[in-house]
Structure formats: structure tokens, C-alpha cells
């Protein structure tokens, strides 16, 4: 695979819920090895875009593809290369322990790095024997992230993964992402409200405004446009005034 290979592509994508337009003619593509941040206000369509991209939602028009395969009909080979952390963790847990859930998920993948999973559980202070339902929201989020990382996918899609994490866990998570990107050249699409996190890891950024992509490109270039003193949060606020 060459480095300029496009792993994720949205072409003229639109989606409405009844009369309300959520996505309007979205075009976006991400090359292999890129970390792209997705920023937008609440209700700007970030989650809808990600769900459309992953084939979890039918799009009204346009085309979404991952690894050159139509997202609506993703073959299992593509899913093997995909790690997804959803915004909401809604797991029917019953009496399930964390290690039980991990064991269950692991059998569906051709490759599973148990050592890495154990290390992450240890680093993030999650007892594998603890029941999932007894975990806090932040700990549940960590388990979701670990589940997405266990099979060491080529493409990670995170929908606000750090929203419930404490600053220590957030830093550790971001470090993990940077290491992953450096070691294996994984591609990442990262949606968040915490713009400071994006500044730490993302090289590229896509700004969603009024249901359209307002800017997509290099984060440094965007900063240059607005002046060196402004950080991404200032730019985001400025754009949404």
C-alpha cells in the first residue's frame, strides 16, 4: 500500500432527517497514515457523517467508501481493518465482566493482540474481573477504546472518544494514538470538542459548519490563516460567530 492511498472517502454526501438537513454535499478523503480531526458544533452532523461513512446509516445521496469498498456493503475483510469507538457506550452487560466482553469480541477477529489489551487495561487501571455495569462512564469509554484497539486495525474512527475521560487518561490515550500512528502508520479520524487534544495529534483538520465542510486541510495552514496567536479553539469560535 502506498502512502498516498485514500482509505476513506465521502463524495457529495447529503443526509436529511425529515425537513432538517444534517449533511449537505460533503466531500472528504483521508490518505493512509493521516490523523484527521473533525470539529463542529453540537448538531453539526459529525456523528451522522461518521455513521454514514461506516455504513451504519443510509445516506440520501452521494457515496461513502472505506478502502475502496462501498460503506453500505462493507465486507468483513474491511471490518477486520477497522476500529470504531462510538460516542455512546450502550452495552447490554448483565453480569458480564470486562475480560468476558474482551474475550467475546476477540474471537471475531483474525488477529488479536492480548498483550497490548492487558497492558492498556493495566495502564488505565481497569480491573478485568470487574463487572462492566459497575464501571464509571469514563472507564466504560476506556473499555470501548481498548476493544477498538485489540485487533490493531489500519483505520481508527473515533466519535468523541475522550468526552468522558479524565485528563490523565486523555493524555495516555493520545500518546497511544501517536505511538500507533508512528509505529504502524494507522489512519485516524478523530471527532472531538476538545480542540487542544486535536492540536496535540492531528495534522489535518475538517471543520463542519452549517452542515457543510467549511475547511479541510493542514492544521498549521489554518492557523497561519488566522494568525499565529490563535489556537484551534479560538479559530473554531471565530468561525462560528
Partner 1 sequence: MKSFLQMYKYIFRSTPKVTISFLIMIVSTTIYKIFFLKHGGLYSLESITIANIIFRIVFTLFIIGSYGMFFGLMRGVITTSNFLLIPKIRKKALSFTFVNLLGIYTCGILISSFDDPRSVLFFTMLNLWFLSFCMSLYFIDITSVYRSNKYLILKIFFFLFSIAGPLVVVKDPFKRPVLFITIVSIFLIVVFYQIINFLNHYIRLDLNDDKTKHKLAKNLDSFNDFIADLTTGSYTSTVHQIKHIKLEKRYFKLFNITLMGPIGIYPWLAIGALSSTAYIHFIREWSLNTFL
The footprint of partner 1 (CB under 8 A) covers 17-18, 20, 54-58, 72-74, 76-77, 79-80, 82, 84-97, 100, 103-105, 107-109, 144, 147-148
Task: Closer to partner 1 by CB, 22 or 206: give it.
Answer: 22
Task: Closer to partner 1 by CB, 91 or 203: give it.
Answer: 91
The least distance separating partner 1 from the CB of residue 110, rounded to whole angstroms, comes to 8
Task: Closer to partner 1 by CB, 109 or 215: give it.
Answer: 109
The least distance separating partner 1 from the CB of residue 195, rounded to whole angstroms, comes to 24
Neighbouring residues of 41: CB distance < 8 A, sequence distance ≥ 6: 208, 209, 240
Neighbouring residues of 135: CB distance < 8 A, sequence distance ≥ 6: 98, 126, 143
Task: Closer to partner 1 by CB, 143 or 219: give it.
Answer: 143
Do strands 69-70 and 35-40 pair parallel, antiparallel, or not at all (unpaired)? unpaired
The least distance separating partner 1 from the CB of residue 117, rounded to whole angstroms, comes to 14
Task: Report which secondary-structure segment, H or E, holds 49.
Answer: helix 46-54
The least distance separating partner 1 from the CB of residue 200, rounded to whole angstroms, comes to 25
The least distance separating partner 1 from the CB of residue 170, rounded to whole angstroms, comes to 19
Task: Closer to partner 1 by CB, 146 or 206: give it.
Answer: 146
Distance CA 43, CA 45 (A): 5
Q: Please tell me whether residue 62 adopts helix, strand or coil conformation.
A: strand
Contact 71, 64 (CB under 8 A): yes
Whose CA is closest to 39, among 176, 231, 178, 225? 231
Count other Cβ atoms within 10 Å, centred on residue 197. 21
Q: What is the grid cell recorded at 20?
A: 432538517
Amino acid at each position: 500500500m502506498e502512502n498516498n492511498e485514500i482509505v476513506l472517502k465521502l463524495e457529495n454526501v447529503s443526509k436529511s432527517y425529515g425537513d432538517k438537513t444534517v449533511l449537505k454535499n460533503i466531500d472528504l478523503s483521508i490518505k493512509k497514515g493521516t490523523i484527521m480531526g473533525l470539529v463542529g458544533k453540537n448538531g453539526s452532523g459529525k456523528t451522522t457523517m461518521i455513521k454514514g461513512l461506516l455504513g451504519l446509516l443510509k445516506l440520501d445521496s452521494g457515496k461513502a467508501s472505506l478502502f475502496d469498498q462501498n460503506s453500505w456493503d462493507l465486507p468483513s475483510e474491511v471490518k477486520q481493518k477497522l476500529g470504531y469507538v462510538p460516542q455512546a457506550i450502550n452495552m447490554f452487560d448483565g453480569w458480564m465482566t470486562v475480560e468476558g466482553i474482551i474475550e467475546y469480541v476477540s474471537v471475531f477477529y483474525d488477529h488479536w493482540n492480548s498483550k497490548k489489551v492487558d497492558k492498556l487495561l493495566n495502564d488505565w487501571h481497569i480491573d478485568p474481573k470487574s463487572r462492566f455495569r459497575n464501571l464509571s462512564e469514563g472507564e466504560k469509554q476506556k473499555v470501548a477504546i481498548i476493544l477498538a484497539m485489540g485487533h490493531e486495525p489500519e483505520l481508527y474512527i473515533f466519535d468523541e472518544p475522550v468526552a468522558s475521560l479524565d485528563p490523565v487518561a486523555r493524555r495516555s490515550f493520545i500518546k497511544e494514538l501517536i505511538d500507533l500512528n508512528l509505529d504502524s502508520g494507522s489512519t485516524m479520524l478523530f471527532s472531538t470538542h476538545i480542540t487542544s487534544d486535536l492540536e496535540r495529534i492531528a495534522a489535518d483538520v475538517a471543520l463542519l459548519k452549517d452542515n457543510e465542510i467549511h475547511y479541510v486541510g493542514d492544521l498549521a495552514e489554518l492557523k497561519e490563516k488566522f494568525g499565529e496567536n490563535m489556537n484551534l479553539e479560538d479559530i473554531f469560535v471565530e468561525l462560528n460567530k
